[in-house]
Structure 1
């Protein structure tokens, strides 16, 4: 097997924070090792910011917004600079992808073809989109003149999770900066490295000091400090529903704008008339892509009874044959889980499922690939059958490679089961009947419905949740709208 090797110095400024355009240590000098899930080895030391460091980052962002040139640049001027960042990502694409792989366990086959390229695409997309954001003139009664302006919000705090560290950072940073805001970014403490690399590229692109600030360290302490901070105007968060609810409550005191991309328990529905070969492929991809560590994972597979048994056997055989491997190998499609806490959580749900009466048909345990370190966080692709939608494994977000298969009889049954969830992030529908596809898609309470496909994304297409999956949208012009506010100007004509 060919493994791509990360350099001995993957970051130019290890153990430091990026605040006000400078790389500085945490005020108390604390660092913690960033550990790879591949083998449990330290990659680099990472600075552990304190509340004082967070305050310094907010102050730098506020100063850059109020006094610096960024918010006063024309949209075209900001676009030129953001396009430069996109070009630098493209230049360093393989290095960035490998950093993501070693830090998070994402197979290089995906980080190099999906995550890193789309990060660049997001910068280019919003560089173009912001030039089309403008106000409009109105003709109110009374003969006066009125017009609207779209203005930035101010300082945006981006709080991002461990599962798509690069992409879910850029879905926030790109539109926020394009709109003229400044940003304080707090990446997940489990996977901070690509956030720091992107900061290096912003510095190389000569983005003005303080426009982007990156602080790493303990999630709860920094999150609470930033949520409470009066110098922040908006929080853009991706993560668990419980943490999102806490941020919403705490942010109310300062009336921050918030957008929330939260958890999911997506129903992937296969009707008896579907192309079974395609449905098998998409169901497998829907749950095991990114090791199941994706909010939109098709973790509830709803199979119509006439094709239930056949598709179950296909998926069980396929899951049993798939073995995790070193994600640096370009041929690996299934790597380790991102961190120890997630490995333990996924493991705990195996016992939960069996106690509830579900049948474990494949996986359900850790795995050590041949020649790999026993400290690697590899977990076998898992399949449960005999699942009732009321079970915890069908209702709670496991966020790992655990598939719960649920039978159904009619179209009405499928819609009812799909909607019987606190979540509403995404869903899949597989059928050859176009009328059924539209009918079911319109009835499912989810922010995204894929028909005869799954886990498709593009910078121009918005995604986000219904119900406990949050509110607001990322990607598309809809996201850009959430980083601006509208001002009305009246001109007396008398």
Structure 2
């Protein structure tokens, strides 16, 4: 499959290619161009050339194109989901939900097409002023491999609906769905050059996009260390930046919680997408008085999870996306055993069987009584390992939950409104769930604090990130 620049499918300047591998089978799915700095510059030029005409179209015209694209995506949901599962690894049901999510986000921003405009400001005895909102120009987005379709929608929807053009760099292991979705947008009427996709390594393509003087805004989702590098490069060009970075999201289970619901929330919150979600439950703190009962129920639920190729029926959890993640998770769990930093209740190894030997599978793992020194509690663990810590009360739970450099998401499970209020006030997180975890609707502003990033995506506030506010003063 080729890159898409200026409305055309093109090869990379270097004529080198990267293999896209099915993480469940190890088989080659496709090959994509290994983009260069020249390719990135060519894409920016295409976006720059398309900007003036696209910005001059009405928001309603732009919305019509995005709405048609959403309809085509829904019609092709099944085939798109198969492609997504083959390159990413998630179960087909999750892939279909993500494709639906892509369409939902496009349609949501179509509904906001008439909402971004300036205002009138009377100034006593001096006349009046008014404000004008204008698109920035060429924007760039760099997205990860865990939710490539949904996060693509988060980036392109507010950018395009406000009249900007965009260059997207997908993750190296999951570009195929992004390229196909881009083709659908073109089919729906998106003019050439408005959306361009360049495949290739981040240190080459990504950095070239960030440094390019014609790129006015960068939106990055990914690992914290890389995000800091993005911020450093963008600062020299005074570019607007949104960084949605890593998280080590805590889940707090109080002694008055509905334990059945909390167990179900922990299972989905940790093992959805094989634990490869920014806001997944990565640390679980449970009151001592209900810990034994909760852990017993949680263990039973984990043992019932069916692991396998996401294209097969009745699969709850697929493989990790790539060898690097697979090796990292194996190393972490082995370290827990070697250093006696916790007790592995279930999982902790690659499942047995011939089918599992071909892909990056790792069994859903429950570790209890985890020590504070363990990397399970101090790093962002992007995989199917759930550490559980017993706490005596809410104060201790909040203290331990906040003992991290991250601040993306958190959840508290209780029937007590005062406990819920205290948790919402004191937990350091950009989004907090009450008696639920993980769900993020397109209407909801999303982003973190601390090392989890800066800025917000989604919701109506995201539109302002892609607009320049100009003030005009008039004297009467």
Q: Same fold (TM over 0.5)?
A: yes
What residue is the counterpart of 2:181 in the other structure?
Answer: 198
1:170-203 superposed Cα distances (whole Å, 9 cap, x missing partner):
1001111011110100000011111100111022
1:324-379 superposed Cα distances (whole Å, 9 cap, x missing partner):
111012421100111111111111111232325222222122225x5526221111
Structure 2 matches for 1:74-473, cutoff 5 A?
Answer: 74-112=58-96, 114-354=97-337, 355=339, 357-368=341-352, 370=353, 372=355, 374-473=357-456
Of 17, 29, 32, the match for 1:31 = 17
Contact 1:287 1:403 in 2 (8 A): yes
Structure 1 residue ranges without an equivalent (≥5) = 1-13
Contact 2:65 2:185 in 1 (8 A): no
Give me the whole-angstrom Cα distance separating, in 1, the residues matched to 2:296 and 2:356: 32
Contact 1:160 1:188 in 2 (8 A): yes
Contact 1:79 1:131 in 2 (8 A): no
What residue is the counterpart of 1:8 in the other structure?
Answer: none
Alpha-carbon distance, 1:475 to partner: 1.1
What residue is the counterpart of 2:34 in the other structure?
Answer: 48
Give me the whole-angstrom Cα distance separating, in 2, the residues matched to 1:454 and 1:232: 36
Give me the whole-angstrom Cα distance separating, in 1, the residues matched to 2:371 and 2:322: 29
Alpha-carbon distance, 1:141 to partner: 3.7
Give me the whole-angstrom Cα distance separating, in 2, the residues matched to 1:195 and 1:140: 48
TM-score of the superposed pair, with normalisation by structure 2: 0.97
Give me the whole-angstrom Cα distance separating, in 2, the residues matched to 1:367 and 1:221: 37
SS of the residue 1:424 aligns to: coil
Give me the whole-angstrom Cα distance separating, in 1, the residues matched to 2:360 and 2:395: 40
CA RMSD of superposed structures (Å): 1.3
Of 61, 72, 89, the match for 2:47 = 61
Alpha-carbon distance, 1:477 to partner: 0.6
Contact 1:324 1:334 in 2 (8 A): yes
Give me the whole-angstrom Cα distance separating, in 1, the residues matched to 2:192 and 2:224: 33
Moved more, 53-62 or 328-337: 328-337
Contact 1:186 1:215 in 2 (8 A): yes
Alpha-carbon distance, 1:165 to partner: 0.6
SS of the residue 1:259 aligns to: strand
Contact 1:264 1:423 in 2 (8 A): yes
SS of the residue 1:288 aligns to: helix
SS of the residue 1:139 aligns to: strand
Give me the whole-angstrom Cα distance separating, in 1, the residues matched to 2:410 and 2:271: 15
SS of the residue 1:445 aligns to: coil
SS of the residue 1:482 aligns to: helix
SS of the residue 1:130 aligns to: coil
Give me the whole-angstrom Cα distance separating, in 1, the residues matched to 2:332 and 2:356: 24
1:19-52 superposed Cα distances (whole Å, 9 cap, x missing partner):
0111111112222221110101111111111110
Contact 2:275 2:385 in 1 (8 A): yes
Runs of 4+ in structure 1 deviating by more than 3 angstroms, as ranges, are none
Contact 2:350 2:356 in 1 (8 A): no
Give me the whole-angstrom Cα distance separating, in 1, the residues matched to 2:417 and 2:18: 54
Alpha-carbon distance, 1:130 to partner: 2.5
TM-score of the superposed pair, with normalisation by structure 1: 0.94
Count of aligned pairs between the two proteins: 475
Give me the whole-angstrom Cα distance separating, in 1, the residues matched to 2:304 and 2:184: 41
Give me the whole-angstrom Cα distance separating, in 1, the residues matched to 2:208 and 2:389: 43
Alpha-carbon distance, 1:429 to partner: 0.7
Give me the whole-angstrom Cα distance separating, in 1, the residues matched to 2:335 and 2:85: 30
